[in-house]
Chains A and B, each alone.
Chain A
Amino acid sequence: MAAQPDIATGRLSQPEYARNFGDIEPPLTPQQAPIEASRCYFCYDAPCIEACPTGIDIPSFIHKIASDNIRGAALDILQANIFGGACARVCPTEELCEEVCVRTAQEGKPVNIGLLQRYATDRFFEGGEQPFERAAPTGRRIAVVGAGPAGMSCAHGLARLGHEVTVYEARDKAGGLNEYGIAAYKMIDDFAQRELDFILAVGGITLEPNRALGADISLAGLRRDYDAVFLATGQAGVKALEIEGQSLGGVRPAIDYIAELRQAGDLSALPVGRRIVVIGGGNTAIDIAVQTKRLGAEDVTICYRRGPDEMGATWHEQEVAQTSGVKIKHWVRPVRLHGENGHVSGIELEYTTLGDDGRLAGAGDTAILPADSVFTAIGQVLIADPLAEGSSELLDLRDGRIAVDEELQTSLPGVFAGGDCIDGLDLTVQAVEDGKIAARAIDRLLSR
């Protein structure tokens, strides 16, 4: 009686795919940029600088856009944040620089710092200049594990200081979440790889793809062969749903599908369900929901166990989901997955409520949502095993992540860590800052 799972390719026409996966926010034109730049008050002790994890001098670069000193603006950005181009696209500015922009207090409309940053960096990259130089060779060699924003930021910092860096990456391509995890419409035209090319062009960085820690290399080996090690492995594991039916076909971690989508050459060849249910409330939940909707799914519902204020996704991301036609169902939690012939056919949800003690409680009544696909986006975890494998010493962990001191040094001397594998904001921009801090700390250590 129930229909077969309706999972199909080619739900849309090619122009529709192109429109749905083009820039979600169009870049500023040369005419718009100086006008938006002129909205910046050039604050003293500007709150935006303080809110930026990489401390970009935002009023300065915006002032330079206004005066048509685009190279100066771009270098202000890139010197503080080598991933300034990616961060311009993916930073949740509504919770960082733009939230504290004094214009937000004044009129609820901050200076569009993200788009201005993109304008400056895009225009600079068009020129093809390599502005960074390396210091005299130090003869020191450092291993970086993980070629995401944290690892590459650290590698770039170290290379500029004259060190030789080898970056080991478990996947085919470098870039980390910029390449595999960010929603496609935030990073179009292969920007992640173009940005990596720019970062690598400084020289002194050797990429070793398809070399996974714990399989192809070991921490003990790296410590033996290099003067220092920076771990930037991210969080490769996903939390399991742990409900009945979780192993049914069509139930997948959101990040796996997003990675597939990011690597798909032809989006019309990517199968997508007609009715999609997403479990979770963070930005990954939004990303999978909006992207499947834009691939042509008919009904996409995000199920979150609490209200809109508690969602990990920013208000802006929630708005993007809703204006993309995604439904967000609050105050429900999954209790059971229903299946047919081994494939998921629906999800049973229980309504939730806040108990008198302020804790989440089931309300008892349930509802069933039909689904052709269920995606889980309930968090990622550090897979710690490879960190110990082959090493006589164990790294200290804290709350399931690598424990570090202020200089991002782990419990093992000479081994540093940053990005999502340590506790923090779990943002690209924070990962970049971690890489910067670690590069300086490693340099100090090696200069002693």
Chain B
Amino acid sequence: MADLRCNFAGIESPNPFWLASAPPTDKYYNVERAFKAGWGGVVWKTVGEPIVNVSSRYGAVEHNGSRMAGFTNIELISDRPVEANLREIKQIKREWPDRALVVSLMVPCDEESWKTILADVEDTEADGIELNFGCPHGMSERGMGSAVGQVPDYVEMVAAWCKKHTRMPVIVKLTPNITDIRYPARAARKGNADAVSLINTLASIIGVDLDTMAPEPIVNGKGTHGGFCGPAVKPVALRMVGDLARDPECRGMAISGIGGISTWRDAAEFISLGAGTVQVCTAAMHRGFKIVEDMVDGLSNWMDEKGYRTLSDFQGAAVGNYVEWGELDMNYEIVARIDQDLCIKCGLCHVTCEDTSHQSISALRIDGERRYEVIDEECVGCNLCMYVCPVDGCITMEPVDNGKPYVTWADDPRNPANRVQAAE
């Protein structure tokens, strides 16, 4: 059986599945239940000067009958006194020493505030701290959260203060509400942070109630933008994690992957793009803590099947294959193949190819029977038909052996720049 233990920037945990800083980790009662369910670690709900939340607080996107395909919140940091949080953190860490316990923090942007709280957190014997520079709603209006995370200079400054005033590993939680994720990450590195975690939520309006004409979630007729998360944001998160994993200037910094992780497979994808641990929130808020059983079990079974003994055996294995467009092979060719025995004649491959661009799947009637066939010469190998086909394995993309070498755009004769050179 695979070994799922991990050491993340010096923080040990029995598996890479941590609960992200959020309502499920805001007190002893929840966290104890999470540890009993099997979570490898938790990042405690952001501690700071207690706030007051509004109601309502959440909104959700339902897609094709699937609830909470995307989720949003307008909650702030912990609404409980700092002392209560610290007391419970200390207690739970003492009772569950093998689990990772990281404390998320958010205090005003001055060195004294950070210095004070760091000393208090150290006293709990927590394993590390996570700087909440990500929260895009509410707290950012008060000059904290993403208001800090969006300014690389501030990220570096606060990370440096924390490193100066504590022996605990420092994780900087990054906001995705920025043009290039590498800049705040590099700033964290310059501030000597041990790790980054990403992504925090995306600033968003989840929907508009067309009866009351108010953005959701609605608080007495008004709405504010919230933080979007859940399965829908996973692709955004994967890309940002990948960008940092391959960035030479971020090298050496551990990455905790966050964003729409609902299953062991999601987690494996993040780890393959360089993450050392993953953090989960929406999936646990949707179905409860028990989901971790399958995450642990599924990841372990998959690793056994693939022959990976430890997480490091495949951590970052996909990073080298994540390249810029200009490094792709211009000569690679694939063509759609339809397995006529599996085809159920829904015609979606035809109509989407027809209406999208390529007109490369013909709709035929042979003795009255529908038949859909690929016109090889027209097929550009875009994959669309494979994705719209509702039957697994019915449409596959088959490589064409054209005998041509790997050529990037820079070297491609079709590149106008090369044509000019040839003419000279």
Contacts and interface: CB of A to CB of B under 8 A. Distances in A.
A34 B65 contact: yes
Given A38-B64, A38-B65, A45-B370, A106 B348 contact: no
Contacts of A105: 344-345
Nearest to B342: A106
B99 interface: no
Contacts of B345: 43, 47, 102, 105
Nearest to B349: A44
B344 A106 contact: yes
B240 to A, nearest CB: 31
B45 interface: no
Interface string B325-357: 000000000000000000011111011000000
A42 B391 CA distance: 14
A102 B351 CA distance: 16
B391 A35 contact: no
Given A106-B344, A106-B391, A45 B65 contact: no
B346 A44 contact: yes
Contacts of B351: 44
B344 to A, nearest CB: 4
In terms of DSSP, what is the predominant structure of the interface of chain B?
loop
Contacts of B347: 43-46
Contacts of A43: 345-348
Report, as a range, how many residues of chain A touch the other chain. 10 to 19
Nearest to A45: B347
B355 to A, nearest CB: 9
B97 interface: no
Contacts of B370: 45, 47
Contacts of A42: 348
Interface in A36-71: 38, 41-47, 66
Contact of A102 (B65, B344, B350): B344
Interface in A81-115: 102-103, 105-106
B390 interface: yes
A44 B350 contact: yes
A66 B65 CA distance: 9
A43 B350 CA distance: 10
B346 A102 contact: yes
Which of A35, A41, A103 neighbours the largest number of chain B CB atoms within 10 Å of its CB?
Answer: A41
A35 B391 CA distance: 19
B363 interface: yes
A46 B370 CA distance: 10
Contacts of A106: 344, 390-391
A102 B348 CA distance: 11
A41 B345 CA distance: 11
Contact of A45 (B64, B363, B391): B363
A66 B66 CA distance: 12
Contacts of A47: 345, 370
A41 B349 CA distance: 11
A105 B341 CA distance: 11
Nearest to A35: B65
Contacts of A102: 344-346, 390
Contacts of A38: 64-65
A54 to B, nearest CB: 20
Interface in A283-301: none
Nearest to A59: B346
A45 B347 CA distance: 7
Contacts of B391: 106
Contacts of B348: 41-44
Nearest to A38: B64
Nearest to B62: A34
A102 B347 CA distance: 10
B343 to A, nearest CB: 9
A71 to B, nearest CB: 15
Contact of B346 (A34, A35, A41, A66): A41
B390 A41 contact: yes
A43 B388 CA distance: 11
Contacts of A66: 64
Contacts of A103: 344
B367 to A, nearest CB: 15
Contacts of B344: 102-103, 105-106
A29 to B, nearest CB: 13
Contacts of A46: 346-347
A225 to B, nearest CB: 45
B12 to A, nearest CB: 44
Interface in A378-418: none
6 contacts: A41-B390, A43-B347, A45-B363, A46-B347, A47-B370, A102-B345
Interface of B: 64-65, 344-348, 350-351, 363, 370, 390-391
Interface of A: 34-35, 38, 41-47, 66, 102-103, 105-106
Cβ-closest 10 pairs across A and B: A44-B347, A44-B351, A35-B65, A102-B344, A38-B64, A43-B346, A105-B344, A102-B346, A106-B344, A41-B346
